Structure 1
Amino acid sequence: MYGEPDFLDHPAFEVREPAEQRVPFVFNSPHSGRYYPERFMAMTRLDSVSIRRSEDYFVDELFSGAVPLGAPLLLAHFPRAYLDVNREPYELDPRMFRERLPPFANSRSIRVAGGLGTVPRVVSEGLEIYRSGIPVAEAQARITSIYKPYHRTLRELLAQTHRRFGFAVLIDCHSMPASVRYGPDGVRPDFIIGDRFGTSASRNVSEAVAEILSSMGYMVTSNKPYAGGFITEHYGRPLKGLHALQVEVNRGLYIDEQTLVRKPSFHLLQDDIAAFISRLMDLPDHLFHDFSIAAE
């Protein structure tokens, strides 16, 4: 158990593992946590629906088909509004704390400027989370007890996968608002594949992943407006056989964002994602050893 006292009686995260890992893939769902500790809720000015606006609703369920197909799935139970592991360890916003931040904190990143640091100040749409300033020790405790163990677990999963198969592929699973549009024609993508503009995964891998989804009838774009966050950037080392891709799913495909009720299409999308994962696992190994990446 992690995250005392908020996670004494509930795991902060878990790894769902197959009986035997049969494929060089690791799936990660860092933003779909929906356990909101009572102590945390007493600190927030938001109601039980508004506090969830930054959540990747049910993405862990959408990608759950990875496990029976032979890949581990790491998933958060802590909510993104409480702690965001898709950030550097100490991206912290000085506006939300009672005391001065330690000198090693990164308080100047673009993400901090938007209130979306490691311990967020706001949820999506800029709604302030806290009633008043919180102690710096509060953020440090969350980072020590949850953030660091979470990343240690992810590193271990990738390392053991790499040792076993000679390479590893991280699929970082996320969702995006139904309102997202891209390009001059305002196209609504169903999926966005992020590879940090060709630096976190081989170009051939990214293109193959996008082609699978496109061939299933989905509108797929790459990197815009989501190229991948800290996790994709930090773990993607294609020249060392570590490929990291962020996959964003449009929420309009499966949920009513106002009521958070699953649409009748939820299970159809879940089945399609399982089929997508199955086809991912059938990609030839040589694709992952072709280290063509974007030019610097």
Structure 2
Amino acid sequence: MDNVLSFSRGRVPLLISMPHPGVRLTPAVAAGLVDEAQELADTDWNIPRLYDFAEELGASTLAANYSRYVIDLNRPADDQPLYASATTGLYPETLFDGRPLYKEGQTPSKEERARYLAEVWTPYHRTLEEELARLKAEFGYALLWDAHSIRSHIPHLFDGRLPDFNIGTFAGASCDPQIAERLQAVCAEAVGYSHVLNGRFKGGHITRHYGQPQQDVHAVQLELSQCTYMNEIAPFDYREELAGPTRAVLRQMLESFLAWGRERYGR
């Protein structure tokens, strides 16, 4: 399997991880999907475009090219569940709304899935780990922003309408508490937007595993409601009139994250 990820090295101690914008499928996955899954509705659509200001900030970026239907990069390799409520696993078998993802008897084989772990999941996490190590070696610390998005209404996963900005810090374990305070302050000043800290989305495997504040690696997950920047139904069009103001808030959040690091570590 080739072209599994896109990586760009930056010049500041921030890495933006995007594990779910990919739309590539393996032949086995493509052949087995039910008709309702063919549009790949559970993708984090347009996230690389939304965050394309990262280059101006000097941040490193890492994005997956394969769909989460192949393998979910924000789940641990042993597939231990992260949430007590409804969720999807390392190898998703259902859509977000709870319907089966595959036609009966057409899920990829164990051998196929082992290949996805070795050739998609592992390279992504190796790159993530190596870049965080490089940033820490150069700056003395590293900041990780795990960028996600999701439809604003999915009754199977959460009640009602999801807040616009869902900040996850694994209940405070993945970063210094002052970071969460600063990010919430930015959101509170953003007129017309709602936000929550450690609500339905507290951070997946990437935030939980790599966020080690005691070792000067601080991680935050942002689950962004897709109605803030795009159409939530196919063909999932990016809407600049929505995305522009949302990008401004995202940029303020990331600038605040970087400013905290400079103040805390002196560089």
Pair 1:227 & 2:202 matched? yes
Kindly provide the CA deviation profile for residues 185-227 of structure 1, in whole angstroms up to 9, marking residues without a partner as x.
Answer: 9675210110010111111111112212322333221000110
Which sections of structure 1, spanning at least 5 residues, go unmatched?
A: 92-105, 290-296
Does the 8 A contact of 1:180 with 1:189 survive in 2? no
Identity of aligned residues (%): 25
**Bigger radius of gyration:** 1
CA-to-partner distance for each residue in 1:9-52, whole Å, 9 max, x for gaps?
xx11111234xx1x2111100011122345531221235654x2
The answer (yes or no) to whether the contact 1:200–1:232 under 8 Å persists in 2 is yes
Contact 1:205–1:287 (CA<8 Å) still a contact in 2? no
Relative to structure 1, is the Cα distance of residues 192 and 113 closer, same or farther in structure 2, using a 3 angstrom cutoff?
Answer: closer
Q: Contact 2:29–2:108 (CA<8 Å) still a contact in 1?
A: no
Cα distance change on mapping 1:84 and 1:255 into 2, 3 Å: same
* Aligned residue identity for 1:16: S
Checking the alignment, whether the CA contact within 8 Å between 1:171 and 1:246 is kept in structure 2 is yes
* Deviation for aligned residue 1:278: 3.1
For 2:46, give the aligned amino acid: F
Q: Deviations over 1:46-69 (max 9, x none)?
A: 35654x222111112212211221
Counterpart contact for 2:8–2:62, Cα < 8 Å:
yes
Q: 1:117 to 1:187 in 2, by over 3 A?
A: closer
Residues 192 and 287 of structure 1, relative CA distance in 2, 3 Å threshold: farther
1:193-208 superposed matches below 5 A:
193-208=167-182
Amino acid at match of 2:34: R
**TM-score when normalising by structure 1:** 0.79
Q: 1:123 aligns with which of 76, 92, 95?
A: 95
The letter for the 1-side match of 2:112 is: E
CA change 1:179–1:113 in 2 (3 A) is: closer
Would the alpha carbon gap of residues 169 and 47 (structure 1) be closer, same or farther in structure 2, given more than 3 Å must change?
Answer: same
Indicate whether 1:265 and 2:257 are aligned: no
CA contact (8 A) 1:66 1:277 kept: no
SS at match of 1:257: coil
**Are 2:16 and 1:27 equivalent residues in the alignment?**
yes
Does residue 67 (structure 1) correspond to residue 39 (structure 2)? The answer is no
State the one-letter code of the partner of 2:188.
S
- Quote the offset at 1:123 in angstroms: 2.0
- Paired letter, 2:45: Y
- AA paired with 2:16? F
1:247 aligns with 2:222: yes
The verdict on how the C-alpha distance between 1:115 and 1:193 changes in structure 2, with shifts beyond 3 A counting, is closer
CA drift of 1:279 comes to 3.8
**Aligned ranges 1:97-108 → 2 under 5 Å:** 106=80
2 CA distance for matches of 1:187 and 1:113? Answer: 17
Cα 1:47–1:38 shift into 2, 3 Å: farther
**What's the counterpart of residue 100 of structure 1?**
none
Match of 1:16 in 2: 8
Question: Secondary structure of the residue that 2:125 maps to in structure 1?
Answer: helix
Distance change in 2, residues 1:43/1:56 (3 Å): same
* TM, length-normalised to structure 2: 0.87
Task: Give the letter aligned to residue 80 of structure 1.
Answer: R
SS in structure 2 at match of 1:122: coil
Local SS of the residue matching 1:208: helix
Residues 118/111 of structure 1: CA separation in 2 closer, same or farther (3 Å cut): farther
Aligned residues: 258
| Inter-CA distance 48–135: structure 2 relative to 1 (3 Å threshold) | closer
- Asked if 1:42 corresponds to 2:6, the answer is no
For 2:72, which of 63, 66, 84 is the aligned residue?
84
What residue ranges of structure 2 are gaps of 5+ in the alignment?
none
Query: 1:166 corresponds to which residue?
Result: 140
**Does the 8 Å contact 2:97/2:154 carry over to 1?**
no
Q: Which moved more, 1:132-141 or 1:224-233?
A: 132-141
Amino acid in structure 1 at the alignment position of 2:91: V
Classify 1:110/1:66 alpha carbon distance in 2 versus 1 (closer, same or farther; 3 Å): closer
Contact 1:115-1:122 within 8 A present in 2 as well? no
Question: Which position in structure 2 is the counterpart of 1:153?
Answer: 127
Question: 1:262 is paired with a residue of what secondary structure?
Answer: coil
